[in-house]
Chains A and B, each alone.
Chain A
Amino acid sequence: MSWVRYTVPAAAVLSAASPAYAVRYLSIEEAQKEAFPSATQFSEVQAGRVWKAEAGGKVVGFFVFDRVVGKHLFIDYAVALTPVGAVHKVEILEYRESYGGDVRSPSWLAQFVGKTSGSALKINGDIRNIAGATLSSTHITEGVKRILAAYGNRLR
């Protein structure tokens, strides 16, 4: 098979710079309902972070919201726990990549204040699917471990 060679001028590539890529999958409320479809009530155990799911007065599980921040990645996710504190489901709620700066900078993070439901961030909306070298989800795995250590035995 033959190959076609392109010498890409640096300027052309630079013009394609995508400052950020973001996907909103689920709001907290939607994720709660999907994790515990039978639940009739979600009551906050810890404000904005931990909810108890109940169905007819019976605890069906717990829902923990968390966020991991890397250098360029900023991910909201949720861990659904069974009533005995085992992981039932881990779901990504919102995934964001940002470039040209550190996502932990206060100005970048400030964009998300108050954006908890129904306000999907529109950054570079024309990029719908992104590929490239595989990204590690280690920070989520560590986050789930932290949540289990913090809440696994304490809720109930």
Chain B
Amino acid sequence: MAIASDSIRRARPLLGTFVEIELAGARRSELDCALEAAFGAVAQVHRLMSFHEVDSDVSRLNREAGLRPVSVHAWTYEVLATAVALHRRSSGVFDVTIAPALQALGLLPPLKDRPVQAPLAGFADAIELRPDHQVRFQSSDVMIDLGGIAKGYAVDRAVAVLRDFGIAGGMVNAGGDLRAFGVESRTVHVRDPRDPGRAVCRIDIADEALASTARRVELFDSREPGGSAVIDPATRRPASLVDGVTIRAPSCVIADALTKIVMICGTDAGELLESYHAGALLISAGGDVQITSDWHQRVHLAA
């Protein structure tokens, strides 16, 4: 008898990390097609939103949008619209124009033909979103990096592709920013940011996203800076209030972005979390774990 339903789990290096896609609930040939399309969507987000690739929308914006309106892909436009909304609702704490500060700290490379300059303060309306996917920057000093949001968006796109293929359930995990869909509940272990050899908790999720950020985790013994530094726009220094944050939210793009805000604001972000229907677990520098009251039943500490 033929097996009506199969499952498949694959991982590829994308977005500067390991992207894993797991899916089930269809025939193997359908799963294979859906898997390729989902990895394709992640690769597309990488091509559009990488700071490092010269042909990406982000690089074109950084070169030209201060001089003239630049036309971008609908996905890039959508991410920028989300970033602008988050910037407003977080009173400027979430800020994709932080790129010069990341360069000054050596977390992003300098751009060719453009000196690393001192970041300018207070870009309230740095990014102007015009009709027809056109984007204009307030000045040619504005430089963006979507590293704090694009990975979550890529996960959402991959999940959307899998759903379009009629896949019943699965999970997309981009190096820890993940989203599950379908009815099945899944258990996720969260590394302790202070000691990645330990799991600080396990969390049950179903049809929702989870994203985490920590001050620094080094699993490879590389000398390169970790990809997880969160910069406080107010001080232009890495956030130091919290050691690590895990956010649960309906979408991964929101979960990803909210990790940065909670790293900087700590428990003061409670209202913002609520407005995005999100929950948070934060590990304070002192070692205490704090969990939003809507969520603490599903978080199992010291798994």
Contacts and interface: CB of A to CB of B under 8 A. Distances in A.
A17 interface: yes
Nearest to B180: A129
Given A6-B291, A72-B219, A137-B18, A127 B189 contact: yes
B302 A133 contact: no
A137 B16 contact: yes
A12 B246 CA distance: 20
A109 to B, nearest CB: 15
B199 interface: yes
A151 interface: no
Contacts of A130: 176, 188-191, 199
Contacts of A18: 189, 197-199
Interface in A1-43: 1-8, 10, 12-19, 23, 25-26
Contacts, number: 191
Interface string A91-111: 110010101100000000000
Contacts of A129: 171, 173, 178, 186-189
Contact of B294 (A1, A8, A12, A17): A1
A16 B198 contact: yes
Given A3-B290, A7-B287, A131-B173, A136 B196 contact: no
A25 B10 contact: yes
Given A73-B220, A92-B18, A134 B193 contact: no
A3 B190 CA distance: 19
A8 B288 contact: yes
Contact of B271 (A1, A17, A19, A77): A1
B196 A132 contact: yes
Interface stretch (B55-63, B74-82, B108-116, B223-231): B223-231
B212 A132 contact: yes
Interface string B164-198: 00000001011111100000001111111100111
A127 to B, nearest CB: 5
Given A100-B197, A131-B210, A71 B219 contact: yes
Interface string B195-218: 011111000000000101110111
Interface in B11-45: 11-14, 16-18, 20
What size tier do the contact residues of chain B reach?
Answer: 35 or more
Contacts of B9: 23, 25
Nearest to A19: B197
A138 B222 contact: yes
Nearest to A101: B197
B228 A134 contact: yes
A95 B18 contact: yes
Given A5-B290, A12-B302, A132-B193, 11 more contacts: A1-B294, A13-B192, A25-B9, A91-B10, A99-B198, A133-B228, A134-B17, A135-B17, A135-B220, A137-B16, A139-B220
Interface of B: 9-14, 16-18, 20, 151, 171, 173-178, 186-193, 196-200, 210, 212-214, 216-222, 224, 226-228, 244, 246, 267, 270-271, 273-274, 287-294, 296, 301-303
11 contacts: A2-B270, A10-B287, A13-B198, A73-B220, A127-B189, A128-B186, A129-B171, A131-B210, A133-B216, A133-B228, A133-B244
A-B pairs, top 10 by smallest CB distance, nearest first, are A99-B197, A132-B191, A70-B220, A71-B221, A133-B214, A92-B11, A1-B270, A133-B217, A137-B13, A134-B175
